[in-house]
Amino acid sequence: MSVQSIHFDADTEVLTILDQTLLPQEERYIEVLTLEQAEQAIKSLQVRGAPAIAYFGAFVLAKEASRLQDNLYFHRQLDQVGQRLIATRPTAVNLQHIIESLLRLNVGEDFEQIAKAIKVRAIEIYEQDVATYRTIGEHALTVLPAGGNVLTICNAGAIATSRYGTALAPFYVGKERGIPFRVFASETRPLLQGARLTVWELDRADIDVTLITDNMAAWTIQTKQIDAIIVGADRITRTGHTANKIGTLQLAILAKHYGIPFYVAAPHSTFDLEADDTIQIEERDAHEVTHIGGHPTALVGITVFNPAFDVTPPELITGLITETGVLEPTESVIVQHVGGNAYV
Angle made by CA atoms 45, 128, 248, in degrees to the nearest 5? 40
Whole-angstrom distance, CA of residue 297 vs CA of residue 205 = 33
Residue 45 φ/ψ region, left for φ over 0, alpha for ψ in the -120 to 50 degree band, beta for the rest: left
Whole-angstrom distance, CA of residue 116 vs CA of residue 85 = 19
Radius of gyration of the chain (CA): 20
Whole-angstrom distance, CA of residue 291 vs CA of residue 295 = 5
Q: At 325, phi and psi to the nearest 5?
A: 130, -175
Whole-angstrom distance, CA of residue 311 vs CA of residue 283 = 14
Nearest to 61 by CA among 29, 43, 88: 88
> How many other C-beta atoms are found inside a 10 Å radius of the C-beta of residue 55?
24
Outline where the chain has alpha helix (H).
Answer: 35-43, 50-68, 74-87, 93-103, 111-141, 169-177, 193, 199-204, 217-223, 248-258, 287-290, 331-338
> How many other C-beta atoms are found inside a 10 Å radius of the C-beta of residue 111?
19
Give the three-state DSSP class for 320.
Answer: strand
* Active-site residue, selected from the candidate residues 234, 276, 285, 310: 234
Length in residues, the chain: 344
Whole-angstrom distance, CA of residue 210 vs CA of residue 51 = 25
Q: Are 184 and 216 in contact (CB under 8 A)?
A: no
Q: At 262, phi and psi to the nearest 5?
A: -125, 110
Is-catalytic flag, 234? yes
Strand pairing class (182-186; 209-212): parallel
Give the three-state DSSP class for 342.
Answer: coil
Give catalytic residues, as residue numbers: 234
